[in-house]
Amino acid sequence: MGAEFLLTSLIVVASPGTGVVITLAAALSQGRRAAIVAALGCTLGILPHMLAAITGLAALLHASALAFEALRWAGIAYLLWMAWSSLRADGPLAIRTDAAPRRDQDVILAAMAANLLNPKLSIFFVAFLPQFVARQDPQPVVTMLMLSGVFMAMTFAVFVLYGCCAAAARRHILSRPSVLAWMRRGFAAAFVALGGRLALSER
């Protein structure tokens, strides 16, 4: 594992995406603890993609246009649902002072679902990780697991940092109703943009 792998992973993890938006929404809705729980859920959502890459299922997904398109459009539909939910006053991403706290398992499941329905993450593991496994490596699976573990740890750490920064500004934001309204619209727009990018992206 070299500096190139760590730098590339950091760029991928830190780039704003669905997981970042979900973590920020959790932080602004319920504070730092919810942000950490959401970050954990986003990180756990990587596991199926990692296992698929190691077992070769992701390669099959990459080869099957039908399977890839089905998963891609399921992901797009989920992102659009998240956008609609963001605008609802009682939605899962609603930023309100009087809202009942969401259960940890609900936050984790929502965050995991966002990553589970992201086919690009599977392709990322297929195209990215093998580049850092030497052909003569006697234990390529162990190396893949180690690299994946580092990637997941980095994902969790970066998302927690995002969430803690957002939580620090939570009181300032919650005291301004107009800001809350614009935040909901901003989250909705972000999910629509992510869904649009996924819809227009090439394989």
C-alpha closest to that of 68 among 80, 54, 57, 79: 57
Instruction: Give how far Cα 174 sits from Cα of 4, 7, 22, 52, Å.
Output: 41, 35, 17, 41
- Cα 34 to the chain's mean position, in Å? 15
Q: Can you tell me the mean pLDDT for 52-59?
A: 66
Amino acid at 31: G
Q: Can you tell me the mean pLDDT for 91-118?
A: 69
pLDDT of residue 196: 80
pLDDT, tens digit, 9 for 90 and up, residues 146-169: 888 999 999 999 999 999 988 888
Rounded CA separation 24/44 (Å): 17
pLDDT band at 130 (very low <50, low <70, confident <90, very high): low
C-alpha closest to that of 167 among 21, 29, 39, 38: 29
**DSSP 3-state of 4:** helix
pLDDT band at 39 (very low <50, low <70, confident <90, very high): very high
Rounded CA separation 127/102 (Å): 36
pLDDT band at 99 (very low <50, low <70, confident <90, very high): low
**Whole-model pTM over 0.85:** no
Is pLDDT of 195 > 90?
A: no
